[in-house]
Amino acid sequence: MESVRRRQQPGTRPPRGSARVKKTAQIMATLLLGLPLIVAAEGIQSLDSIRDAIEAYALEELVHDPERDSVSVGRLDPRLRLHHCDAPLQAFRNPGNRRGGRSTVGVRCTGSQPWTIYASVQVESRATALALARSMGRGDRIQAQDLTETEINLAELPHGHYSDAERLIGMQLRRSVRAGEILSPLLVAAPNLVTRGETVMVTAAAGGTQVTMQGEALDSGALGDRIRVRNNRSDRVVEGEIVERGRIRVLM
């Protein structure tokens, strides 16, 4: 039997029940559209709480000076839908992450529905460093008037810096350095107090007995270095520590 679709004539009343079906559909659509908002408000961990946990951890563990340093947390994907944690959030960092600069910080939930997320953190650590007040050449000795203070971002100085002038005074430059350049351990060296081939005084101590003799330095070195020395009388070679200019101490 052929089915016939009847066309509703203009001005005629729609079949009973169609308005109710339409209204029900509208209500269902409203509920479905509103569901993500309800879930986000009641069952989803807010991104702000995760960001706050990361920032608090970074300020506590990754900065040098909370009064001068700043922390910037990387962008979290706004589409994240992590279950609301029913335990305190735990922040941590990967082993090997250094203080200052860019690091990766994790946040984990150890509650009934555990999860873990990671975010990048940029720490800007400010510090006072010593720089040269004037340009100097290789081998030049640093004096107090050659130094000036400047504020730096530690992340930009992977080779270290100096903040105590006493540690630099008397040091020699390994190469030419321009005015304003930050001084690091790579740029300075302790001056040699003994030069290979020169005559030095050797003090040998054994128990309560002490003997002083002359010798020839077979190596060059700075304060605290251990070098070889040949006894001028016996031609015996010993090893001793440089204790001051031209003086070696040998423990027998």
Q: What is the pLDDT of residue 206?
A: 76
Structure tokens given for 123: 């720490």
Owner of token pair 């930009």: 156
Instruction: Pick the closest to residue 43 from 90, 147, 123, 113 (CA basis).
Output: 113
pLDDT tens across 165-210, in order? 999 999 999 999 999 999 999 999 998 899 999 999 999 887 778 8
pTM for the model: 0.51
Domains of the chain: residue spans and CATH: 47-124 (no CATH), 126-189 (3.90.1210.10), 192-251 (2.30.30.760)
DSSP assigned state of 85: P
pLDDT at 15 > cutoff 70: no
